[in-house]
Amino acid sequence: MLFSSLTFLFVYFPIVLILYYLVKSRTKKNLVLLIFSLLFYSWGEPKLVCLMLFEVFVTFILVLKMSDTHDQKKKRKYLILEIIFIITFLFLFKYYNFFIVRILKLNSLALSISLPIGISFYSFQIISYAVDVYRGQVEVQKNVFDLTLYVSFFPQLIAGPIVRYSTIVKELKERKENVNDFAYGLRRFIIGLSKKVIISNQMAIVSDKVFLSANIVSFSSGMYWLAALSFMFQIYFDFSGYSDMAIGLGRMFGFHFLENFNYPYTSTSITDFWRRWHMSLSSWFRDYVYIPLGGNRVTKFRWLMNILIVWCLTGLWHGASFNFVLWGLYYGILLIVEKLFLGKVLKKLPGLNWIIVMLFVLFGWVLFNAPSGETALFMIKKMLSGFEGINRSTLNNLNILYLWEYYVIAIIGCFPICKKIGLKIFNTRYGKLICDLYLLIILFLCVMLLVNNSYNPFIYFKF
């Protein structure tokens, strides 16, 4: 079930919201959230919800045993066992066929298994919980239902952000809902919904016409540039919009999730980009992979290898495909080059550095979204070999000529100017009323688009 679906907006969400605020005790409120979170996941994965519950239950037992012993070696053994347990299921469902078929070429050993929705997200949340307990940064959770709610909480279950247990552990028992938080959450949800429905879905129409074409290598270089730019907007407004909706939903129930995006397309360096894009994933790899490997407090060779390892894993996290590995290596190499000398060059090129970084990001999205690494390299080569114009008849044939105004909206939305103007208006005498009326109009427009258009893809479902 998508947040941007009519079923969620007019059936599921109103019911869970009403029931949540009808019951009084914290235990009953948590029970409502748990039941509806499992129902939310079962909507798309009725069988594989048992897998998630099994992983949570085993984690509950192993981490409890780990916290009960004072023997550091036993603690470490329990942690290793827990990580192996979670990674095994992640590998089996997400990477087994890739490893067996694409790498070892053992087609006869392939399994007919489907990818559980959100398994990469909830697997990382479970691992972070276990590691944080091992490090003594959080207390072990002794209530299996609260641990299950943490992992399965529907706003962040299927597509993040990756919420650390330490972020919401107190709010599982002690949160206090209030009108201001609810109003903020509702506003934030509508903003996220508009990003998804008004911008991302329209950009997807253009990018999919090229990237999903049966004859993808037949377009002009101009069409490749347009498709790459469209996907660049699509994935940002899709995922940042989903994160906004998740943060807004969490706030309506009294939970305070951390931000996941901070205008990444304003970045003037690759490092800055990854401090602003999918911040929960970047910080997860930093805290649970990069720093444990030694970070930059090792020899120069080891430091550079640590960067490459982290980015290979980041690429693989996104999917079992060679082009995701290539995409991860691409950023790993870019970051190494930037840290060695490119960063100094970019600092000396104010204004131009932003253009250079955005071009690197644009080509990265081609690697990310192309059906194969070979196709991605072909597209990038053609984009760089000389610009061929976009034929108007091609746009008419693809039925995308009418979408030009959405690019204006997308470009403006990539910068914080709208937020700054909105805050200034909001803080005036009648500003709150003006902003809320505006958001109601936006919500109405989103609903109209959803009613009239069934094309509502969500990129991060497959991760």
As annotated, the active-site residues are 318
Are the C-beta atoms of residues 315 and 352 closer than 8 Å to each other? Answer: no
Q: Which residues contact 52 (CB under 8 A, 6 or more apart)?
A: 41, 116, 119, 122, 151, 152
**Residue written as tokens 């490997």?**
293
Give the whole-angstrom CA distance, residue 31 versus residue 64: 22
What is the chain's Cα-based Rg?
Answer: 23
**Residue written as tokens 């919904």?**
193
Give the whole-angstrom CA distance, residue 268 versus residue 356: 8
> What is the separation, in whole angstroms, between the first and last Cα of the chain?
15
Q: Packing angle between helix 144-152 and helix 26-44, nearest 10 degrees?
A: 50
Are the C-beta atoms of residues 30 and 141 closer than 8 Å to each other? Answer: no
Dihedral angle of Cα 234, 249, 263, 127, to the nearest 10 degrees: -90
Cβ neighbour number for residue 446 with a 10 Å cutoff: 20
Residue 454 to residues 1, 4, 196, 203, 213: CA-CA distances in angstroms? 14, 11, 13, 15, 19
Task: Label residues 274-305 b or e (16+ Cβ within 10 Å = b).
Answer: bebbbbbbbbbbeeeebeeeeeeeeeeeebbb
Instruction: Indicate the SS3 state at residue 7.
Output: helix
Instruction: Indicate the SS3 state at residue 160.
Output: coil
Residue 251 to residues 94, 155, 194, 288: CA-CA distances in angstroms? 32, 10, 18, 27
Give the whole-angstrom CA distance, residue 130 versus residue 293: 18
